Amino acid sequence: MAKQSEQISAARRSKHGGILTVFFTLLSVAWIAPIIIVALNSFKRKAYIFRNPFGISAASLADGFDRWKAGVSKAMCGWMNYTNGLKTTHFFSCFGYSLFITVGSVLAIVLFCSMCAWYITRVQNKVTKAIYLLCLFSMIVPFQMVMFTLSKFANMLHLANPVGIIVVYLGFGAGLAVFMFSGFVRSISIEIEEAALIDGCTPLQTFFLVIFPILKPTTVTIAILEAMWVWNDYLLPSLVLNVNKYRTIPIAVQYLKQSHGQIDWGAMMAVLVMAIIPIIIFYLLCQKYIIEGVVAGAVKG
Protein backbone atom coordinates (compact mmCIF):
# COMPACT_ATOMS: atom_id res chain seq x y z
CA MET A 1 0.00 0.00 0.00
CA ALA A 2 2.78 2.43 0.92
CA LYS A 3 4.63 1.56 -2.29
CA GLN A 4 1.50 2.26 -4.35
CA SER A 5 1.06 5.64 -2.64
CA GLU A 6 4.65 6.56 -3.41
CA GLN A 7 4.12 5.64 -7.07
CA ILE A 8 0.99 7.79 -7.26
CA SER A 9 2.83 10.69 -5.60
CA ALA A 10 5.75 10.33 -8.00
CA ALA A 11 3.36 10.31 -10.97
CA ARG A 12 1.69 13.51 -9.73
CA ARG A 13 5.06 15.21 -9.25
CA SER A 14 6.11 14.15 -12.74
CA LYS A 15 2.85 15.52 -14.20
CA HIS A 16 3.17 18.81 -12.34
CA GLY A 17 6.81 19.05 -13.34
CA GLY A 18 5.89 18.58 -16.99
CA ILE A 19 3.24 21.30 -16.79
CA LEU A 20 5.68 23.70 -15.14
CA THR A 21 8.32 22.90 -17.77
CA VAL A 22 5.90 23.76 -20.58
CA PHE A 23 4.77 26.94 -18.80
CA PHE A 24 8.28 28.26 -18.17
CA THR A 25 9.36 27.30 -21.70
CA LEU A 26 6.54 29.41 -23.14
CA LEU A 27 7.41 32.21 -20.72
CA SER A 28 11.05 32.09 -21.83
CA VAL A 29 9.98 32.28 -25.48
CA ALA A 30 7.84 35.32 -24.65
CA TRP A 31 10.83 37.05 -23.06
CA ILE A 32 13.23 36.17 -25.89
CA ALA A 33 10.79 36.97 -28.73
CA PRO A 34 11.37 40.78 -28.69
CA ILE A 35 15.12 40.28 -29.02
CA ILE A 36 14.62 37.89 -31.94
CA ILE A 37 12.24 40.34 -33.64
CA VAL A 38 14.74 43.19 -33.25
CA ALA A 39 17.53 41.01 -34.69
CA LEU A 40 15.39 40.01 -37.69
CA ASN A 41 14.31 43.58 -38.42
CA SER A 42 17.90 44.82 -38.24
CA PHE A 43 18.47 43.15 -41.64
CA LYS A 44 15.40 44.67 -43.35
CA ARG A 45 14.66 47.93 -45.09
CA LYS A 46 12.19 50.30 -43.47
CA ALA A 47 9.26 49.37 -45.75
CA TYR A 48 9.53 45.68 -44.94
CA ILE A 49 9.86 46.31 -41.21
CA PHE A 50 6.33 47.76 -41.19
CA ARG A 51 4.97 45.28 -43.73
CA ASN A 52 6.15 42.13 -41.97
CA PRO A 53 7.81 42.92 -38.62
CA PHE A 54 7.63 39.36 -37.27
CA GLY A 55 9.36 37.47 -40.06
CA ILE A 56 11.31 37.55 -43.32
CA SER A 57 8.96 37.99 -46.27
CA ALA A 58 9.53 36.90 -49.84
CA ALA A 59 9.38 40.55 -50.90
CA SER A 60 12.20 41.43 -48.51
CA LEU A 61 14.33 38.61 -49.87
CA ALA A 62 13.57 39.67 -53.45
CA ASP A 63 14.53 43.26 -52.62
CA GLY A 64 17.83 42.09 -51.22
CA PHE A 65 18.44 40.00 -54.35
CA ASP A 66 17.64 43.01 -56.59
CA ARG A 67 20.09 45.19 -54.71
CA TRP A 68 22.68 42.44 -55.01
CA LYS A 69 22.17 42.33 -58.79
CA ALA A 70 22.41 46.14 -58.89
CA GLY A 71 25.97 45.97 -57.63
CA VAL A 72 25.62 45.72 -53.85
CA SER A 73 27.44 42.65 -52.55
CA LYS A 74 25.32 39.88 -51.07
CA ALA A 75 26.94 40.32 -47.66
CA MET A 76 26.32 44.06 -47.65
CA CYS A 77 22.61 43.67 -48.44
CA GLY A 78 21.99 42.44 -44.90
CA TRP A 79 24.54 44.66 -43.17
CA MET A 80 23.66 48.07 -44.64
CA ASN A 81 21.58 48.93 -41.56
CA TYR A 82 24.57 48.19 -39.35
CA THR A 83 26.95 50.35 -41.36
CA ASN A 84 24.40 53.20 -41.44
CA GLY A 85 23.85 52.87 -37.69
CA LEU A 86 27.59 52.96 -37.00
CA LYS A 87 28.06 56.10 -39.07
CA THR A 88 24.95 57.97 -37.94
CA THR A 89 25.38 57.45 -34.20
CA HIS A 90 29.21 57.50 -34.04
CA PHE A 91 28.69 54.17 -32.31
CA PHE A 92 32.26 53.48 -31.22
CA SER A 93 32.53 56.84 -29.44
CA CYS A 94 29.23 56.23 -27.65
CA PHE A 95 30.32 52.68 -26.85
CA GLY A 96 33.47 54.05 -25.23
CA TYR A 97 31.52 56.45 -23.02
CA SER A 98 29.03 53.74 -22.04
CA LEU A 99 31.82 51.31 -21.22
CA PHE A 100 33.75 53.86 -19.15
CA ILE A 101 30.68 54.95 -17.18
CA THR A 102 29.48 51.39 -16.60
CA VAL A 103 32.84 49.99 -15.48
CA GLY A 104 33.60 53.02 -13.32
CA SER A 105 30.17 53.01 -11.68
CA VAL A 106 30.24 49.28 -10.95
CA LEU A 107 33.74 49.44 -9.47
CA ALA A 108 32.79 52.42 -7.29
CA ILE A 109 29.57 50.77 -6.08
CA VAL A 110 31.26 47.46 -5.28
CA LEU A 111 34.22 49.01 -3.48
CA PHE A 112 32.57 51.71 -1.39
CA CYS A 113 29.33 49.88 -0.65
CA SER A 114 31.09 46.71 0.50
CA MET A 115 33.23 48.75 2.89
CA CYS A 116 30.19 50.65 4.11
CA ALA A 117 28.20 47.45 4.66
CA TRP A 118 31.05 45.85 6.61
CA TYR A 119 31.39 48.92 8.83
CA ILE A 120 27.70 49.41 9.63
CA THR A 121 27.31 45.68 10.29
CA ARG A 122 30.24 45.39 12.69
CA VAL A 123 29.88 48.80 14.38
CA GLN A 124 26.48 48.96 16.05
CA ASN A 125 25.48 52.49 17.05
CA LYS A 126 22.88 55.10 16.18
CA VAL A 127 24.91 56.55 13.29
CA THR A 128 25.40 53.22 11.51
CA LYS A 129 21.75 52.31 12.03
CA ALA A 130 20.75 55.67 10.52
CA ILE A 131 23.03 55.07 7.52
CA TYR A 132 21.51 51.64 6.96
CA LEU A 133 17.96 53.01 7.16
CA LEU A 134 18.85 55.77 4.69
CA CYS A 135 20.17 53.16 2.25
CA LEU A 136 16.93 51.21 2.59
CA PHE A 137 14.91 54.39 2.16
CA SER A 138 16.76 55.22 -1.06
CA MET A 139 15.45 51.93 -2.53
CA ILE A 140 11.87 53.03 -1.88
CA VAL A 141 11.91 56.61 -3.19
CA PRO A 142 11.02 56.75 -6.92
CA PHE A 143 13.64 58.35 -9.14
CA GLN A 144 11.04 60.68 -10.66
CA MET A 145 10.66 62.44 -7.30
CA VAL A 146 14.26 63.61 -7.22
CA MET A 147 15.32 63.80 -10.87
CA PHE A 148 14.85 67.55 -11.33
CA THR A 149 16.59 68.40 -8.06
CA LEU A 150 19.34 65.96 -8.97
CA SER A 151 19.80 67.58 -12.38
CA LYS A 152 20.09 71.02 -10.78
CA PHE A 153 22.67 69.91 -8.19
CA ALA A 154 24.63 67.98 -10.82
CA ASN A 155 24.97 71.16 -12.87
CA MET A 156 25.97 73.19 -9.79
CA LEU A 157 28.65 70.62 -8.86
CA HIS A 158 29.93 70.31 -12.46
CA LEU A 159 29.04 66.63 -12.74
CA ALA A 160 27.84 66.84 -16.35
CA ASN A 161 30.67 64.61 -17.58
CA PRO A 162 31.47 60.87 -17.61
CA VAL A 163 33.44 61.06 -14.35
CA GLY A 164 30.81 63.11 -12.54
CA ILE A 165 27.94 60.81 -13.47
CA ILE A 166 29.80 57.92 -11.83
CA VAL A 167 29.33 59.74 -8.51
CA VAL A 168 25.61 60.04 -9.23
CA TYR A 169 25.32 56.34 -10.07
CA LEU A 170 27.17 55.50 -6.85
CA GLY A 171 24.52 57.34 -4.88
CA PHE A 172 21.60 55.64 -6.60
CA GLY A 173 23.14 52.19 -6.60
CA ALA A 174 24.27 52.26 -2.97
CA GLY A 175 20.91 51.27 -1.49
CA LEU A 176 20.62 47.82 -3.04
CA ALA A 177 24.36 47.13 -2.80
CA VAL A 178 24.62 48.00 0.90
CA PHE A 179 21.51 45.95 1.65
CA MET A 180 22.87 42.83 -0.10
CA PHE A 181 26.40 43.20 1.25
CA SER A 182 25.10 43.68 4.80
CA GLY A 183 23.11 40.45 4.62
CA PHE A 184 26.19 38.52 3.55
CA VAL A 185 28.54 40.12 6.10
CA ARG A 186 26.18 39.09 8.93
CA SER A 187 26.71 35.45 7.91
CA ILE A 188 30.51 35.75 8.27
CA SER A 189 31.83 34.59 11.61
CA ILE A 190 33.35 37.39 13.68
CA GLU A 191 36.08 34.99 14.85
CA ILE A 192 37.69 35.19 11.39
CA GLU A 193 38.20 38.93 11.78
CA GLU A 194 39.40 38.58 15.35
CA ALA A 195 42.02 36.05 14.23
CA ALA A 196 43.21 38.47 11.54
CA LEU A 197 43.51 41.30 14.09
CA ILE A 198 45.49 39.04 16.44
CA ASP A 199 47.86 38.26 13.57
CA GLY A 200 48.55 41.99 13.22
CA CYS A 201 46.23 43.02 10.39
CA THR A 202 44.93 46.57 10.33
CA PRO A 203 41.18 47.09 9.67
CA LEU A 204 41.87 47.82 5.99
CA GLN A 205 44.05 44.72 5.66
CA THR A 206 41.37 42.67 7.39
CA PHE A 207 38.76 43.88 4.94
CA PHE A 208 40.73 43.52 1.71
CA LEU A 209 42.64 40.34 2.59
CA VAL A 210 40.00 38.47 4.59
CA ILE A 211 36.49 39.83 4.16
CA PHE A 212 36.40 41.01 0.54
CA PRO A 213 37.46 37.63 -0.96
CA ILE A 214 34.62 35.98 1.01
CA LEU A 215 32.17 38.48 -0.50
CA LYS A 216 32.83 37.20 -4.04
CA PRO A 217 29.36 35.66 -4.73
CA THR A 218 27.49 38.79 -3.65
CA THR A 219 30.05 41.03 -5.36
CA VAL A 220 29.53 39.32 -8.72
CA THR A 221 25.73 39.45 -8.33
CA ILE A 222 25.76 43.15 -7.53
CA ALA A 223 28.18 43.82 -10.38
CA ILE A 224 25.85 42.09 -12.86
CA LEU A 225 22.72 43.87 -11.64
CA GLU A 226 24.34 47.29 -11.52
CA ALA A 227 26.09 46.85 -14.89
CA MET A 228 22.82 45.95 -16.61
CA TRP A 229 21.14 48.97 -15.04
CA VAL A 230 23.88 51.50 -15.88
CA TRP A 231 24.51 50.18 -19.40
CA ASN A 232 20.83 50.36 -20.41
CA ASP A 233 19.95 53.55 -18.54
CA TYR A 234 18.66 56.44 -20.62
CA LEU A 235 16.97 58.85 -18.22
CA LEU A 236 19.85 59.62 -15.85
CA PRO A 237 22.49 60.34 -18.54
CA SER A 238 19.99 62.48 -20.44
CA LEU A 239 19.42 64.57 -17.30
CA VAL A 240 23.01 64.82 -16.05
CA LEU A 241 25.35 64.57 -19.03
CA ASN A 242 26.03 67.23 -21.63
CA VAL A 243 24.48 65.17 -24.45
CA ASN A 244 25.92 67.45 -27.12
CA LYS A 245 29.39 66.32 -26.04
CA TYR A 246 28.94 62.99 -24.25
CA ARG A 247 26.47 60.43 -25.57
CA THR A 248 25.95 56.94 -24.24
CA ILE A 249 24.46 54.25 -26.49
CA PRO A 250 20.82 54.68 -25.29
CA ILE A 251 21.06 58.42 -25.98
CA ALA A 252 22.62 57.77 -29.40
CA VAL A 253 19.68 55.52 -30.31
CA GLN A 254 17.30 58.36 -29.51
CA TYR A 255 19.21 60.66 -31.88
CA LEU A 256 18.44 58.34 -34.79
CA LYS A 257 15.09 60.12 -34.89
CA GLN A 258 15.31 62.59 -37.77
CA SER A 259 13.39 65.76 -38.54
CA HIS A 260 9.58 65.64 -38.77
CA GLY A 261 9.54 62.50 -36.62
CA GLN A 262 11.16 60.29 -39.26
CA ILE A 263 13.12 57.34 -37.92
CA ASP A 264 15.57 55.05 -39.66
CA TRP A 265 14.09 51.91 -38.13
CA GLY A 266 16.55 49.56 -39.77
CA ALA A 267 19.55 51.43 -38.39
CA MET A 268 17.88 51.73 -35.00
CA MET A 269 17.29 47.98 -34.83
CA ALA A 270 20.90 47.36 -35.83
CA VAL A 271 22.24 49.69 -33.15
CA LEU A 272 19.99 48.04 -30.55
CA VAL A 273 21.42 44.64 -31.47
CA MET A 274 24.97 45.94 -31.14
CA ALA A 275 24.09 47.56 -27.82
CA ILE A 276 22.63 44.45 -26.17
CA ILE A 277 25.32 41.99 -27.30
CA PRO A 278 28.02 43.11 -24.79
CA ILE A 279 25.70 43.04 -21.77
CA ILE A 280 24.26 39.65 -22.80
CA ILE A 281 27.77 38.20 -23.06
CA PHE A 282 28.66 39.66 -19.66
CA TYR A 283 25.50 38.20 -18.13
CA LEU A 284 26.04 34.74 -19.63
CA LEU A 285 29.60 34.63 -18.32
CA CYS A 286 28.55 35.53 -14.78
CA GLN A 287 25.01 34.14 -14.47
CA LYS A 288 26.05 31.14 -12.33
CA TYR A 289 26.94 33.51 -9.49
CA ILE A 290 23.54 35.27 -9.38
CA ILE A 291 21.50 32.72 -7.41
CA GLU A 292 24.45 31.96 -5.14
CA GLY A 293 24.90 35.64 -4.40
CA VAL A 294 21.20 36.39 -3.88
CA VAL A 295 20.68 33.60 -1.33
CA ALA A 296 24.04 34.23 0.37
CA GLY A 297 23.46 35.58 3.84
CA ALA A 298 19.81 34.52 3.92
CA VAL A 299 20.66 31.99 6.63
CA LYS A 300 22.95 33.12 9.36
CA GLY A 301 25.67 30.52 10.01
- Read off the pLDDT of residues 212-264 as tens digits, 9 standing for 90 and up: 998 988 898 899 889 989 999 998 998 888 888 889 999 888 877 765 567 77
Q: Is pLDDT of 1 > 70?
A: no
What whole-number distance in Å separates Cα of residue 102 and Cα of residue 226?
Answer: 8
The domain tally of the chain equals 2
Same domain, 92 and 21: no
135 inside domain: yes
Same domain, 2 and 144: no
State the chain's mean pLDDT as an integer.
80
For the stretch 197-213, pLDDT in tens is 888 888 889 999 999 99
> Domain containing 223: what range?
87-295
Same domain, 36 and 94: no
Same domain, 201 and 138: yes
Same domain, 258 and 133: yes
CATH number, domain containing residue 121: 1.10.3720.10
255 inside domain: yes
51 inside domain: no
Same domain, 21 and 153: no
Q: How confident is the model at residue 269 (pLDDT cuts 50, 70, 90)?
A: confident
59 inside domain: no
Same domain, 133 and 207: yes
Same domain, 35 and 93: no
157 inside domain: yes
pLDDT of residue 300: 46
Same domain, 33 and 91: no
pLDDT of residue 79: 75
For the stretch 131-181, pLDDT in tens is 999 888 888 888 888 888 888 888 888 888 999 999 999 988 999 999 999
Q: Is pLDDT of 58 > 60?
A: no
Same domain, 117 and 263: yes
pLDDT of residue 8: 54
48 inside domain: no
pLDDT of residue 74: 45
60 inside domain: no
> Would the pTM of this model clear 0.85, i.e. be above it?
no
9-18: average pLDDT: 61
79 inside domain: no
pLDDT of residue 242: 85
Same domain, 24 and 98: no
